[in-house]
Amino acid sequence: MKNKQEQLTKREKQMLLEIRQSRRYPVARFELHSSRSEELVSTALNYVRIVEEGDSIELVKERGEALRSLEEKGYIRVDYQGNVWVCGDHTLYYRSDLYALLCHTAMEAQSLPDCVFDIPAIRKGYVYLTAKGKKTQCF
């Protein structure tokens, strides 16, 4: 019998199936950088998975929570460090309503004298199944 921590939610099972069926599974981290110091970076939203340009923040946060949980449980690995990106995998993220909101927020912040984080950015990433994730039969 699996312990309670290892039980997967319906959303987690759904996402594991999507990852398994995908050739690549792009995700992103929405960040705000500082024009004053390139070392200063703030994460605005992590584990971002966008499927349609108009995805709501609530839906994106729900997916993000499932991805975070799957990573903590050892089913997936999220890699933001890779240097090779397939052209077009993250285009949807740049066209999304959520990224437009991040850009708008950063633009408004630029007019504030004490603002530190004023440059919107997307950290591109991919999700990979771990050995545990590959072995899991969710359905």
Instruction: Kindly report the CATH number assigned to the domain that includes residue 72.
Output: 3.30.110
Total domains in the chain come to 1
Structure-block tokens of residue 14: 């759904």
Separation between Cα atoms, residue 70 and residue 28, nearest integer Å: 16
Is 74 a member of any domain?
A: yes
Separation between Cα atoms, residue 133 and residue 126, nearest integer Å: 15
Domain that holds residue 75: 10-129
Contact call for residues 19 and 129 (beta carbons, < 8 A) = yes
Contact call for residues 21 and 111 (beta carbons, < 8 A) = no
Q: Look at the block and give the residue holding tokens 């504030």.
A: 112
Is 60 a member of any domain?
A: yes
pLDDT in tens, the chain (139 residues): 344 447 899 999 999 999 999 999 999 999 999 888 888 999 999 999 999 999 999 999 999 999 999 999 999 999 998 776 777 889 999 999 999 999 998 988 888 888 888 899 999 999 999 999 999 876 5
